[in-house]
């Protein structure tokens, strides 16, 4: 069995080319992206959240699986990298780009979501209870980069280890860590 994506978002190659030009090395891994698209397809007309837009690779994968009536809010603190995402995905009316620190955004948001993909510290290592409070029962929660990455700072492994150790103690939350792709956690809000 080959675990490569069967389908890729049309904009992905251009996004990754621009990411390389900008020196951005933290785009969503393709197997992770393919899983995001598949899981997104399970939430017809759902309300999606991405914390950590980056250059838009994850958003492209999510959009590839979303139905026409679905909506994605994607939050990024770095306007320079988010501009790459806007350039390639800004024509998709289902996507709302928010330029904000995810930590600050979590303080202000009160809506409920069907799916959250978290690719930054807030909502994963910081403020997890606040993020989970934004998820409807049955909502999916996906995080990546649980296996060592070349882009990690030296002090990051203890953060990851602590997050993984705390997962079983989070109330109303069913999580499965997966040693695949960049290392994932796929969970559901109960």
| Residue 3, domain member (yes or no) | no
Is the pLDDT reported for residue 91 higher than 90? Answer: yes
Q: Whole-number mean pLDDT of the chain?
A: 95
What's the pLDDT score for residue 84? 98
pTM: 0.95
Please state the domain count of the chain.
Answer: 1
What's the pLDDT score for residue 1? 82
Instruction: Give percent above pLDDT 90 in the chain.
Output: 89
What's the pLDDT score for residue 111? 87
| SS3 letters across the chain | CCCCCCCCCCCHHHHHHHHHHHCCCCCCCHHHHHHHHHHHHCCCCCEEEEECCCCCHHHHHHHHHCCCCCEEEEEECCHHHHHHHHHHHCCCCCEEEEECCHHHHHHHCCCCEEEEEECCCECCCECHHHHHCCEEEEEEEEECCCCCCCCCCCCCHHHHHHHHHHHHHCCCEEEEEECCCCCEEEEEEC
| Residue 173, domain member (yes or no) | yes
Helix (H, G, I), strand (E, B) or coil at 154: coil
Find the CATH number of the domain harbouring 62.
Answer: 3.40.50.150
In angstroms, the first-to-last Cα distance of the chain is 33
What's the pLDDT score for residue 32? 96
Is the pLDDT reported for residue 151 higher than 90? Answer: no
Q: Select from 82, 89, 79, 84 the least CA-distant residue to 18.
A: 84
What average pLDDT does the segment 137-160 reach? 93
**Per-residue pLDDT tens over the stretch 165-190:** 999 899 999 999 999 999 999 999 99
| Residue 4, domain member (yes or no) | no
| Residue 176, domain member (yes or no) | yes
Is the pLDDT reported for residue 2 higher than 90? Answer: no
Q: How far apart are CA 175 and CA 123, in angstroms?
A: 15
| Residue 140, domain member (yes or no) | yes
Question: What range defines the domain where residue 27 resides?
Answer: 12-189
Beta-bridge partner residues of 66: none
| Residue 7, domain member (yes or no) | no
Helix (H, G, I), strand (E, B) or coil at 168: helix
**Per-residue pLDDT tens over the stretch 99-123:** 999 999 999 988 899 999 999 999 9
Helix (H, G, I), strand (E, B) or coil at 60: helix
């Amino acid at each position: 069995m080959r675990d490569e994506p069967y389908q890729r978002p049309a904009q992905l190659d251009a996004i990754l080319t621009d990411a390389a030009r900008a020196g951005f090395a933290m785009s969503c891994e393709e197997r992770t992206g393919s899983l995001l698209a598949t899981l997104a397809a399970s939430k017809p007309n759902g309300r999606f959240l991405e914390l950590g837009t980056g250059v838009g690779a994850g958003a492209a994968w999510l959009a590839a699986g979303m139905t026409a009536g679905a909506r994605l809010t994607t939050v990024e603190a770095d306007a320079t990298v988010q501009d790459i995402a806007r350039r390639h995905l800004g024509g998709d009316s289902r996507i709302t780009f928010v330029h904000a620190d995810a930590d600050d955004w979590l303080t202000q948001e009160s809506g409920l979501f069907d799916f959250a993909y978290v690719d930054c510290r807030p909502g994963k290592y910081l403020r997890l209870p606040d993020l989970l409070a934004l998820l409807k029962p049955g909502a999916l929660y996906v995080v990546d980069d649980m296996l060592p990455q070349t882009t990690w700072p030296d002090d990051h492994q203890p953060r990851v280890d602590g997050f993984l150790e705390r997962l079983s103690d989070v109330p109303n939350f069913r999580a499965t860590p997966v040693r695949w792709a960049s290392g994932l956690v796929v969970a559901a809000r109960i």
